[in-house]
Amino acid sequence: MEAYNILIAVFVFLFGISVGSFLNVLIYRIPNEMSINFPPSQCTSCGHKLKWYHNIPLISWLALGGKCAFCKEKISAQYPVVEFINGLIWLAIFAKIGLVWYLPFVMLSFSMLLALTMIDFKYYAVPDNLNIAALIFALIQPDFFHAILNALYAGGALYLLGFIVSKLAKKEALGEADIIVAATMAALLGFPLFFIAMFIAAILAIVPSLLAKDTKVPFVPFLALATLITYLNQEFLLRMLEALMYG
Ligand SMILES: [Zn+2]
């Protein structure tokens, strides 16, 4: 890798952890129906306003030993973890597709999926606005019309499947949220990668579903993780699929 690329990679990572910091705000405030930009950052325990140097992604949490600078209450490790993961995701996507004009939109789409993942884990539901944002970011790419068609196919097929299963099982099978996530997946991946991602998501979800027995298992995190795995390994997975089909 040339020095130039390393410089961009560092920038992508730093920008990624900063956006991760904003994701934490979304994850905390949207389910609680709070405004995103008001009030400014404050300790969720004592309400003390944070200084700018308490707000530096990763660094501040580590420097403060995971405690509020004012009340010394523990600050959830979720904050630095989400920042770091988002930085890594951005870095991986940059390494995969390079400096193309739609790079920021792919990265933002995956960031929205990360926020949805965290919210689904915590609340077993995902907000529509973030879900639709993920889809819109996924559609912004060179083959815009193809991406829209893919999203419609996947969303429509899943809607139909959900409708039929719901009628047969007499309970709601697929939520509206899952359908929007599926549309995002298809826009990002296209076909047949979409099916591979669905398959991976199902495999990833098996063990947690068995362990959880009667309690609910959020499905969006598995869809999101499977989408990332598939996106980053698309050539390899397509070769595997070909080998399986044609020997
Ligand atoms: Zn505090």
Centre of ligand 1 from the C-alpha of residue 36, in Å: 19
CA of 157 to the centre of ligand 1 (A): 48
Question: 13 φ, ψ to 5°?
Answer: -65, -45
Cα(79) to centroid(ligand 1), Å: 15
Closest listed residue to residue 230, CA positions, set 179, 181, 187, 189: 189
The one-digit pLDDT tens for each residue of the chain (247 residues) are 688 889 999 999 999 999 999 999 999 888 887 777 666 788 888 989 888 888 899 999 999 999 999 999 998 999 999 999 999 999 999 999 999 999 999 999 999 999 999 999 888 889 999 999 999 999 999 999 999 999 999 999 988 888 888 888 777 767 888 999 999 999 999 999 999 999 999 999 888 888 877 677 788 999 999 999 999 999 999 999 999 988 7
Residue 66: left (phi > 0), alpha (psi -120 to 50), or beta? left
DSSP state of 54: G
Q: What is the pLDDT of residue 104?
A: 97
Compute the distance from residue 88 Cα to the ligand 1 centre, in Å. 29
* Residue 80 Cα to ligand 1 middle (Å): 17
Give 46 Cα–ligand 1 centroid separation in angstroms. 4
How many residues belong to the chain?
A: 247
How much distance in Å is there from the Cα of 198 to the middle of ligand 1?
42
Give the model's pLDDT for residue 1: 60
Ligand 1 mean position to 42 CA, how many Å? 8
> How far is ligand 1, taken at its centre, from the CA of residue 6, in Å?
38
- 3-class secondary-structure state, position 229: helix
User: Mean pLDDT for the chain?
Assistant: 91
Structure tokens given for 102: 């739609």
DSSP letter (8 states) at residue 47: -
Whole-number Å distance, alpha carbon 119 to ligand 1 midpoint, is 23
> Got the DSSP string for 93-153?
HHHHH-S-TTHHHHHHHHHHHHHHHHHHHHHS---HHHHHHHHHHHH-STTHHHHHHHHHH
Residue 86 is predicted with a pLDDT of 98
Q: Is 213 left (phi over 0), alpha (psi -120 to 50) or beta?
A: left
Q: What is the per-residue pLDDT for 225?
A: 97
The alpha carbon of 115 and the centre of ligand 1 are apart by a number of angstroms equal to 24
CB atoms within 10 A of CB 171: 8
**Interval between CA 127 and ligand 1 midpoint (Å):** 27
Dist. CA 41 → ligand 1 center (Å): 11
Report d(CA 100, CA 222) in Å as an integer.
27
The answer to whether residues 70 and 46 touch, using CB atoms and an 8 Å cutoff, is: yes
Cβ–Cβ < 8 Å for 149, 60: no
Q: From ligand 1's centre to the CA of 62, what distance in Å?
A: 16
Rounded to the nearest angstrom, the distance between the alpha carbon of 59 and the centre of ligand 1 is: 17
Question: HSE-up of 218 (CA within 13 Å, CB side)?
Answer: 17
Distance 76 CA to ligand 1 centre (A): 12
